[in-house]
Structure 1
């Protein structure tokens, strides 16, 4: 039997998830490859999820997820009609591409940036347009604006950027949005926005309020620590949000995820303390690695980026030998998620035992 696969599927790379942590000779094993929150969900969130567990397993969840939508609408002072949900912000990004592109249309993003962008684009039959980061590993927004064509339909701006942790400024985004035609949707992907302390970093929500062609992506996976439950959302113009709901996977957001999201929004004050700890740990790890002689890009996310180029495999190998999984981009750099104090100390110890670049 010979099956006929869709032409072009051979150019679609499978998403490469963060590697499981190896085990060192001493039994040490730390997974710092997926930018996960090092803390478990708050006790109040766990209790809410546990309470709805029996019905959530054998009943379909609400497609509308009205309690989540209403909580988000109140949190950001936007219309419920502007909110679309999905199984993580990556699934919502896929909804955007499917809803706004036809085969041959272009989806633009910086590169390197979130690995799912080119995959989602090709799966939808659209054409990925990768615009290189500038010399400081930041979005080159003028170059992106110059790359717009009459086939451009969607532009992703990942801020803070994954995997570099860099951010753009308000002035840069203002100039960029002024240059982009209003028939192109600009998606500000703020998966790591809670960790961004840069004074001049723009707010995606405020840009959504000012521009009719701006949407924002958020996730509960990172700061809220709900990566395993899979829930994210877009705040977008109502006609865009309606289109996203049309192309979404039915029942993709489980009842457990919905309950956890509402409970997490109610507990943001408690979560803020954890976020502050992660930010402080990020600075401590970056300072320690800089002191050892490693190049470290200033990060506004819950990870640090070492732009070590051809030394990436060697440095990643040293981490793996010590039972630590990081995210290695061969020939480019190594991204290390911020973990617990013990895990961060293990990174410092592992990298102090070898020569930096």
Structure 2
């Protein structure tokens, strides 16, 4: 057989690809007669972007041109909003795109063939092992505590000479708890200063805990800290894919080399800028979701259910082996939720009717989650 006749089935990916988990996006709800269907499986904002953003999107027309590769207008707006230098901001296709740029820059395979290590809590954001593995680095997963929190002491003790990056997800997706300022500072001081500490704050706008860590404050104090944020959740721009990292120039100069050119489209950049200009309206919408989150968590606790501290736009049900059963029952009620194997179920905060139906389902379910 000539090279031209070789079957495509003989083409193999890099060995690591077969070893990685597949990212499983939240599924849409199924149609059920007599019920409005609701998607509570992807931590999406159920509310559309604010009117000014919708208007800006509708008026955009320059799609025959490439976007500004540096997203200069957005970085300028963020610099003013966050009170940081624009040079310290690197945009990406959502915070996931910004994370990939970061991992590509600081972790992977070395010239001696040994893999760098990336430490993160588990379970946490399910894209972490995929992103780390694709860089050629090795994941070091540290189990969460019984109440769904990062075990920072164990994470610090896991640092080795091969550790290059540590990922801290706060609030932790999918369990919900935040990291406090005090514990985060102790952790940063405990790890070597040449290890990059990433504070992933995709749900930062939903946090109401007074002692929650502020990633931007940590970046100002510690040169090895990088902050990840996104417009996908609070701003309701998940479909436009716009996020960013904030870090000191010593790190940012290298991140720009790995940044994907034109990752943020002009429509995404303009939408994000206008959303920042009308942030008071974003805050009102976020607060309405926080109020619903608090109603849901209070309702679950009234039922006697254990729920980890919920500081994002979702709640975590530690249902273990009953996770698939519960997800199926939710589906029968036209609610799609996100089951994670036999670990638990994450339920996003959605429309008021959806949240009420979810609570009614829980009230009739006889196998409530317990502290693991």
TM-score of the pair, normalised by structure 2: 0.93
Show the counterpart of 1:83: 89
Equivalent residue for 2:56?
48
CA distance, structure 1, for counterparts of residue 327 and residue 23 of structure 2 = 20
**Residue 43 of structure 2 aligns to a residue in which SS?**
coil
1:266 Cα deviation from its structure 2 partner: 0.5
- Show CA shifts across 1:245-266 (max 9, x none): 2212221111110000100110
Alignment counterpart, residue 32 of structure 1, candidates 35, 40, 44: 40
- Aligned counterpart, 1:16: 24
Match of residue 150 from structure 1:
161
Could you tell me how far apart the structure 2 residues matched to 1:330 and 1:293 are? 23
Structure 1 position 27, deviation (Å): 4.0
The answer to whether the Cα contact below 8 Å between 1:158 and 1:189 also exists between their aligned partners in 2 is: yes
Match of 1:58?
A: 64
Deviates most, 1-10 or 123-132: 1-10
C-alpha displacement of 1:115: 0.5
Residue 256 of structure 1, aligned match among 243, 260, 267: 267
**C-alpha distance in 1 between matches for 2:270 and 2:142:** 39
Residue 353 of structure 1 corresponds to: 364
Which residue of 1 is the match for residue 215 of structure 2? 204
Note if contact 1:29-1:323 (Cα within 8 Å) is conserved in structure 2. Answer: yes
Following TM superposition, by how much is the alpha carbon of 1:289 offset from its aligned partner in structure 2, in angstroms? 1.9
Gaps of 5+ in 1: none
Name whichever of 345-354 and 35-44 sits farther off: 345-354
Say yes or no: does 1:98 pair with 2:108. no
Q: Does 1:306 pair with 2:311?
A: no
Inter-partner Cα distance in structure 2 for 1:190 and 1:102 = 23
2:238 match: secondary structure? coil
Match status 1:109 vs 2:115: no
Q: Secondary structure at the match of 2:119?
A: strand
Partner of 1:132: 143
Match of 2:233 among 222, 226, 233: 222
1:137-170: CA deviations, max 9, x gaps?
Answer: 1000010000000000000100110001101222
Q: Distance in 1 between matches of 2:246 and 2:203?
A: 16
What's 2:15 paired with? 7
Q: TM-score, with normalisation over the residues of structure 1?
A: 0.97
Give the equivalent residue in structure 1 for 2:276: 265
RMSD (CA atoms)? 1.2
Q: Distance in 1 between matches of 2:251 and 2:315?
A: 34
Q: Which of 226, 232, 253 is the aligned partner of 1:242?
A: 253
Q: Report runs of 4+ in structure 1 exceeding 3 Å deviation.
A: none
1:288 match: 299
**Conserved in 2, the CA contact under 8 Å of 1:34 and 1:337?**
yes
Instruction: Report what 1:278 is aligned to.
Output: 289
* Structure 2 residue matching 1:110: 3-state secondary structure: strand
Count, aligned residues: 355
Q: Which residue of 1 aligns with 2:192?
A: 181
Q: In structure 2, what is the Cα distance between the partners aligned to 1:293 and 1:135?
A: 17
Q: Any conservation in 2 of the 1:318–1:351 contact (CA below 8 Å)?
A: no
Give per-residue Cα distances to partners, 1:50-106, cap 9 Å, x unaligned: 111x21x32211111111010111111111111000000011111111000131001
Aligned partners of 1:106 and 1:152 also within 8 Å: yes
Distance in 2 between residues matched to 1:133 and 1:118, nearest whole Å: 16
